[in-house]
């Protein structure tokens, strides 16, 4: 790996503080930036096909990390309000002091563990990116095709961090998800960038979160206090 964990932390802090860094302009070239960001996701999808799934009821594609966290995106943004979702295993957060009820009050969904099928307890946050209709391919649709449609709806949400080789998709309020442009460049293929305050208000202990793999980023004049969960897919 070209970047160790120290470089990853520094880069994540820099990227987290910028909505659309290092894109080099996003006016008439919006679609080429969409194409570049989409191609980077395609490389991840092709490299880790066993990590890709489809939720038929929600019409969501997504990645599941080795730890069991998920990034999901809709195949049809006009179908409902769940265009993008970040799904986190509840157990590490609860172990770090998070009160599920308090996190629900902050806009998260708490999904209890089930035994049929066997699934852990989860915390889910969803975002409505757009209600615009899209040209959905039905049975011939792909995860990459659905992701590109999402990017096309609002190219201004796309950012790029040259040092980390990461694209980012802004979800609003400083929250975003990120994905690597270069699978060999660093030790995070995906990253979830989330506002820290809801977790802290729900009782989270930062030291315990850091021990569980989270990065804590203090607030600056340009960005709120954040929690970042980087993930490798291998």
Residue 134 has what pLDDT? 63
- Rounded Cα distance, 10 and 196, in Å: 18
- Pairwise pLDDT comparison (30 vs 53), residue with the higher score: 53
| Residue 222 Cα distances to 13, 19, 88, 178, 227, angstroms | 12, 9, 26, 19, 15
| Residue 226 Cα distances to 74, 91, 155, 195, angstroms | 25, 20, 23, 5
Please write the tens of the pLDDT for every residue from 164-194. Answer: 889 999 999 999 999 999 998 878 999 999 9
Q: Taking 50 as the threshold, does the pLDDT of residue 141 lie above it? A: yes
- In this prediction the pTM is 0.86
Contacts of 117 (CB under 8 A, 6+ apart): none
- Rounded Cα distance, 52 and 45, in Å: 7
Angle at 57 between CA 51 and CA 59, to 5 degrees: 60
pLDDT confidence band for 4 (50 / 70 / 90): very low
Residue 112 has what pLDDT? 94
Please write the tens of the pLDDT for every residue from 27-48. Answer: 445 557 999 999 999 999 999 9
């Amino acid at each position: 790996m070209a970047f160790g964990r120290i470089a990853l932390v520094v880069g994540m802090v820099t990227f987290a503080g910028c909505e659309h860094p290092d894109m080099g302009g996003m006016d008439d070239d919006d679609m080429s930036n969409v194409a570049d960001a989409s191609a980077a996701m395609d490389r991840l999808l092709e490299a880790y096909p066993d990590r890709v799934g489809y939720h038929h009821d929600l019409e969501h594609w997504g990645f599941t990390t080795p730890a069991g966290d998920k990034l999901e995106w809709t195949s049809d943004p006009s179908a409902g309000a769940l265009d993008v979702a970040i799904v986190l295993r509840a157990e590490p957060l609860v172990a770090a002091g998070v009160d599920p009820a308090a996190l629900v009050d902050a806009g998260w969904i708490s999904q209890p563990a089930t035994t049929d099928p066997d699934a852990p307890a989860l915390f889910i946050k969803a975002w409505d990116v757009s209600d615009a209709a899209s040209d959905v391919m039905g049975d011939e649709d792909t995860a990459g095709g659905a992701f590109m449609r999402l990017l096309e709806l609002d190219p201004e949400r796309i950012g790029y961090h040259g040092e980390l080789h990461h694209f980012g998709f802004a979800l609003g309020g400083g929250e975003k998800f990120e994905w690597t442009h270069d699978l060999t460049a660093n030790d995070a293929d995906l990253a979830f960038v989330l506002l820290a305050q809801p977790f802290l208000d729900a009782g989270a202990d930062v030291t315990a979160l850091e021990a569980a793999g989270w990065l804590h980023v203090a607030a600056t004049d340009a960005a709120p206090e954040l929690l970042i969960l980087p993930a490798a897919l291998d």
